[in-house]
Structure 1
Amino acid sequence: MIQNIINFLKNRKRFGAFALCTLLAIMAWLLVILGKTYITQLSFPVTFINEQNNYLLNTNETDIIQIEVKGSGFNLLRSNFINEHTPITMYLTKLLKTTNEIELNLNSEPYISSINAQIPYGLSIIRIQPNAIHFTLRKKHSKRVPIKFSALLSYAPKFFITEPITIQPKTLELFGDSIALSTIKEVSTENFTQKNLQANVAQTLAIKLPEGIKNISANVQKVYVSIIIEEFTEAKFTLPVQVTNIPDKKTIKTFPDKVPITCLVPLSKFKQVTATDFSLIADYAQVSISENNIKSNYNNKLKLLLNKQPSYVRNVKLSTEKVEFIYKNNVH
């Protein structure tokens, strides 16, 4: 039994020594392999920066460049661990000339040096594809357009806005191609949805530029929106009926001569509102009266019209929409 244990321990020592030698051999092999120089191709997104604001640079070509690079296995392995390569930035200010066509040769100086400084350390550039990128130079134009508040709002019962919704600023200036700008009439905010509102709203919203239109920018990215909300309460008044357009030789009397109304008024203004803030009229011009009969279908009734009311009052309801009337000729 003891001899078996001794043999097992000896075998474990031999296996451990073998495993260590194997591991050291693999590491030595990797050092040799990774120390060699290799050539491979990497993909990089490229961003073109135009610092001259008076012009637009348009290109229909790719915004991805393929760079053939040379480097040690260590550096290439490290580069492959980067999931997304940092975009290559190209400044085009020095390219702007009087001509409308520009060709950017990526395989020439100073672009090779500029790109080389932005790729992972230890790699050197052999070749860049595409070899050249073509741009069209266009004059940049501007246009001022209104900003539309894009919203879906609902209010709690008896809560309403008491003032027009304010947007600051109300307009913005767009910059871009003249043809593209001509198709834009307004710019909207991001969608804003609120339900069962019971309090004032003060919100900063981003601007949404029209989709599908390239090379458009704006001098405003966000707007401030203010919504004033207040609770309303019911108010009741009795208004006299005023008949208008009465012929000089006639006297008109309505039945009733006063009509009750109900309306919703902001709580803050409830004590300020009186019956004199309203005007209720019945226009006699609705009918044509001869001496003996009425030549209309009004059946001796006049339709009532609320001619005046405070701007902040809502949901005005008349107890009746029409009043009866009689007339008599004045005797001189």
Structure 2
Amino acid sequence: MWGLIKMTREYEAPVKYSIIPDKLPDGKILTSNPDSVITLILNAKGLDLYSRTLFRRNNSVKINLSKVRLRREGDSYKGTLKSTSLMKAISEQLPLGAKLIGIEPDTLHFTFHKSYKKRVAVHPQLSLDFNKQYQLYDSIHIRPDSVLVEGLQKIVDTLSFINTEKKSYRNLNANITSRLALVRPETFPAVKLAKDSVTITLNVEKFTESDLEVPVSLYAQGKSVSYRIFPEKVVLTCRVAMRDYKRMDPSLFTASVDYEEVQHSQNNRVLVQIRRKPSFARVMRIEPEKVEFLILK
């Protein structure tokens, strides 16, 4: 009974709180915060003080640093805040029943540096596995495909991309749109990202093979050359999405042999090269891979 009565009485006691810096001065980044833990002198019931002191329940407060007066020291900026100026803002963050009596230390110190911004590419960390005959129709779409990073110049200058979280997709046979968190680089001081996530879209299609007979020409870079090629045509085996299958036509492809290679060939046989093809088709095989040629004098 006496213990319960004591726990319901009001007492004053010091309770440690962590500072969460909020709203930094424009164009500045916090690089040192020696007073990151402050002591609040609280008046509250014994039970509430006991739980906050021993179990650290919600023992953190946000402090607005946007109005801190700065003085330059070399390439850094020093700022101070009188604890008394924070009484009202901190009191509003305390739980009901707790009254703020004082703050220690009486002055808080902060060090800032100039912040720099740079836009870098977003790099998706994906592991993709497809059902049979399925694959990506085109490249991975990322929105946005870049993000603005802000921090110390010597750190920002080392960044060329920002990774997304790792994600695996298995047995893909349909389009997917997903939101992925961006992974902030582990630097000190930490950099800021203008976005915390991006949206990725995977366009997945069923593919098949298509065989086309295409004539072979001589690539002579504008020179006038009379020639014969045997055989005159080759068969291209192409991988193409089902949606584009009907678009396949020999006129969309150019197969040729290089005149420079022809001149240096020892056996009158040279590799066939594909110099033009539609973006939606991938040439898997050329039959035959080499053709015979004859330069006519």
Answer whether TM exceeds 0.5 for this pair. yes
In 2 relative to 1, CA 160–259 (structure 1 residues): closer, same or farther, beyond 3 Å? same
Residue 137 of structure 1 corresponds to 112
Which of these residues, 183, 190, 199, is aligned with residue 165 of structure 2?
Answer: 190
Kept in 1, the 8 Å contact 2:39–2:103? The answer is yes
Q: Is the deviation greater in 311-320 or in 140-149?
A: 140-149
Q: 1:260 aligns with which of 235, 247, 252?
A: 235
Residue in structure 2 matched with residue 17 of structure 1 by the alignment: none
- Residues 32, 112 of structure 2: 8 Å contact kept: no
> Separation in 1 of the partners of 2:276 and 2:175?
28
Kept after mapping to 2: 8 A contact 1:56/1:215: no
Which residue of 2 is the match for residue 103 of structure 1?
Answer: 80
Report matched runs for 1:177-326 at 5 Å. 177-245=152-220, 251-288=226-263, 296-326=264-294
**Could you tell me how far 1:43 is from its partner in structure 2?**
2.5
Cα distance change, pair 173–287 in 1 and its aligned pair in 2 (3 A)? same
Structure 1: runs of 5 or more not aligned: 1-26, 289-295
Secondary structure of the structure 2 residue equivalent to 1:264: strand
In terms of fraction of residues, the more strand-rich structure is 2
- What SS class does the counterpart of residue 180 from structure 1 fall into? helix
1:284/1:302 contact within 8 Å kept: no
Deviations 1:232-262 (A, max 9, x none): 11111112221233975x6422222222221
The aligned counterpart of 1:55 is 28
Say which is worse superposed, 134-143 or 309-318, in terms of deviation. Answer: 134-143
Counterparts of 1:152 and 1:137 in 2: how far apart (Å)?
40
Contact 1:79/1:120 (<8 A) preserved: no
Which residue of the partner structure matches residue 73 of structure 1?
46
Distance (Å, rounded) in 1 between the aligned partners of 2:169 and 2:137: 17
Give the number of the structure whose residues are more often helix, by fraction: 1
1:271 counterpart SS class? helix
- Cα RMSD (Å): 3.0
TM-score of the superposed pair, with normalisation by structure 2: 0.83
Range 110-119 or range 175-184, more displaced: 110-119
Paired letter, 2:79: I
CA contact (8 A) 2:16 2:59 kept: no
Task: Please tell me the residue identity of whatever aligns with 2:269.
Answer: K
Whole-Å separation in 2 of the counterparts to 1:161 and 1:34: 66
**In the alignment, which residue of structure 2 is the partner of 1:91?**
64
The answer as to 2:132 corresponding to 1:157 is yes
Partners of 2:140 and 2:7 in 1: CA distance: 66
**One-letter amino acid matched to 2:49:** L
Q: Distance in 2 between matches of 1:325 and 1:94?
A: 81
CA distance in 1, matches of 2:45, 2:174: 65
Equivalent position of 1:44 in the other structure: 17
Unmatched tracts of structure 2, length 5 or more: none
Shift of the 252–144 alpha-carbon distance from structure 1 to 2, 3 Å rule, reads: same
Deviation at 1:191, TM superposition (A): 2.0
Structure 2 partner of 1:21: none
What is the distance in 2 between the residues matched to 1:311 and 1:31?
79
Instruction: Describe the SS at the equivalent of 2:160.
Output: coil
Residue type of the alignment partner of 1:95? V
Q: Distance in 2 between matches of 1:223 and 1:121?
A: 39
- The amino acid of 1:103's aligned partner reads T
Matched residue type, 1:306: I
**2:260 aligned counterpart, secondary structure:** helix
Q: How big is the shift at 1:269?
A: 1.5
Inter-CA distance 37–166: structure 2 relative to 1 (3 Å threshold) = closer
3-state DSSP of counterpart to 1:285: helix
Give the Å deviation of 1:113: 5.0
Identity %: 24
State the alpha-carbon separation in 2 of the partners of residues 315 and 244 from structure 1.
19
Mark the CA change 1:315 to 1:64 in structure 2 (over 3 Å): closer, same or farther.
farther
* DSSP 3-state at the match of 1:204: strand
Counterpart of 1:3 in structure 2 is: none
